[in-house]
Amino acid sequence: MAVTVAELAAQLGARVEGDAESLLQGVATLSQAGPGQLSFLANKKYQHQLATTTATAVLVSESEAADCPVTAMVVDDPYLSYAKAVAYLYPEQREPGGIHPRAFVDESASVDPSAWIAANVVVEAGAQIGCGVQIAAGCVVGRNVTIAADSRLHANVTLYADVQLGQRCLVHSGTVIGSDGFGFANEKGKWIKIQQLGRVIVGDDVEIGANCAIDSGAIDDTVIEEGVKMDNLIQIAHNVRVGAHTIMAGHSGIAGSSVVGKYCAIAGAAGIGGHLEICDNVTITAMSMVIKSISKPGVYSSGIPAEENREWNKRVARISRLDKLNDRVRQLEKKL
């Protein structure tokens, strides 16, 4: 697909400085881009690459426009415009509607004719698959699952019974939604399973990465609100609620019954304990452990940056001797 700079600029609301008639066929980084390619400058770190780029056009902000050696497409937010440009230049390839002969769809399930069900998919009884839904090979869609319009499951996704998925969701391979919440009562040392009765409700425009696990609620539902974006290998326990437009990075997790607000950002491998409330607009930095509710927007941390092992071992030893150091200071205070 080739478009003129002018056509793309119209889509993006960009001002063009240079040749509006040149053709764009794809995108590349500033350092790699050649003729016919669009690039963008969104990170100051790469500013030095602008002078020598051989891209046909570059998405830049107003302040960089003068320094652009090729056609500049001036926008407010080059990164956002890049996202939209890519969506325009690389329209998603959707399969035509239909059920692959190697798929198995229970006769009581309802599949919109415009939905696509790939080979080796299993759709169980009572499931409802909306228009434009795309279900790739090897997925298992449990009983009475609902998948709303234009959502897409990549290969080998598992949805347990009763999961509800909103519109335009994207779920990556290996992810499991609706597995039993982790609930047991103890009887003389043995663990007695507590049947998990709730569902998982996923809002519109949610993206869930690969190999995540989202448990069903114990009694009420686990809820992922609209616009949430999750990276890979994320754990969501039973009865968690993740607020709209919150973003979670890889290996992060939320323990049971915690409620995370809207517009939060949970960085990689951060963990949020159970039965907590995290208000809107909270950022948790990488590998932090949250064990108290947070009622004030802001940035919270407990991750420790690595340093040379020899130095680090000294620090750990010092920390373990803090009691003694404190005692020594107290002794000094007494003497004075």
What residues from 8 to 47 belong to the interface with a copy of itself (CB under 8 A)? 27-29, 32, 45
In the complex, the smallest distance separating the C-beta of residue 2 from a copy of itself, rounded to whole angstroms, is: 16
Catalytic (active site) residue 238: yes
Question: End-to-end alpha-carbon separation of the chain, Å?
Answer: 81
In the complex, the smallest distance separating the C-beta of residue 274 from a copy of itself, rounded to whole angstroms, is: 9
- Which residue do the tokens 């040392």 mark? 189
Q: Which two tokens stand for residue 211?
A: 């190999």
DSSP state of 2: -
Q: Which residues, 6+ apart, have CB-to-CB distance to 107 below 8 Å?
A: none
Q: Of 48, 154, 172, 238, which residue is the catalytic one?
A: 238
In the complex, the smallest distance separating the C-beta of residue 34 from a copy of itself, rounded to whole angstroms, is: 13
Q: How many whole angstroms from its chain centre is CA 31?
A: 28
Q: How far apart (Å, rounded) are the C-alpha atoms in residues 148 and 307?
A: 48
Using CB under 8 A as the binding rule, whether residue 48 contacts a copy of itself is answered as: no
- 153-162 burial, b at 16+ Cβ within 10 Å, e below that, comes to bbbbbbbbbb
Window 147-166: contact mask with a copy of itself (x via CB under 8 A): -------xxx-x-x------
Using CB under 8 A as the binding rule, whether residue 1 contacts a copy of itself is answered as: no
According to DSSP H, which parts of 59-172 are helical? 78-89
Total residues contacting a copy of itself by CB under 8 A comes to 126
Q: Counting Cβ atoms within 10 Å, is residue 287 exposed (0-12), middle (13-18) or buried (19+)?
A: middle
Q: Which residues from 232-271 bind a copy of itself, rule CB under 8 A?
A: 232-233, 235, 237, 245, 247, 249-251, 253, 255, 263, 268-269, 271
Nearest residue (CB) to a copy of itself, 21 versus 94:
94
Using CB under 8 A as the binding rule, whether residue 56 contacts a copy of itself is answered as: no
Q: How many CB atoms lie within 10 A of CB 121?
A: 25
Q: Which residues, 6+ apart, have CB-to-CB distance to 245 below 8 Å?
A: 225, 226, 227, 228, 262, 263
- Sign of dihedral through CA atoms 100, 106, 107, 110? negative
In the complex, the smallest distance separating the C-beta of residue 170 from a copy of itself, rounded to whole angstroms, is: 8
Q: Counting Cβ atoms within 10 Å, is residue 179 exposed (0-12), middle (13-18) or buried (19+)?
A: middle
Q: Which residues from 178-237 bind a copy of itself, rule CB under 8 A?
A: 179-180, 182-187, 189-195, 197, 205, 207, 209-213, 215, 219-220, 227, 229, 231-233, 235, 237
Nearest residue (CB) to a copy of itself, 113 versus 308:
308
In the complex, the smallest distance separating the C-beta of residue 114 from a copy of itself, rounded to whole angstroms, is: 21
Task: Tally the C-alpha atoms within 13 A of residue 137's C-alpha that lie toward its C-beta.
Answer: 3
Nearest residue (CB) to a copy of itself, 36 versus 250:
250
Nearest residue (CB) to a copy of itself, 3 versus 137:
137
Q: How far apart (Å, rounded) are the C-alpha atoms in residues 304 and 311?
A: 13
Q: Applying CB under 8 A, which of residues 49, 128, 173, 293 lies at the interface with a copy of itself?
A: 173
Q: Which two tokens stand for residue 264?
A: 């939060």
Window 96-125: contact mask with a copy of itself (x via CB under 8 A): ----x-x-x-------------xxx-x-x-
Q: Which residues from 66-85 bind a copy of itself, rule CB under 8 A?
A: 77, 79-80, 82-84
In the complex, the smallest distance separating the C-beta of residue 134 from a copy of itself, rounded to whole angstroms, is: 13
Asked if residues 120 and 103 have their Cβ atoms less than 8 Å apart, the reply is: yes
Q: Applying CB under 8 A, which of residues 62, 86, 94, 295 lies at the interface with a copy of itself?
A: 86
Nearest residue (CB) to a copy of itself, 21 versus 315:
315
Active site residues: 238
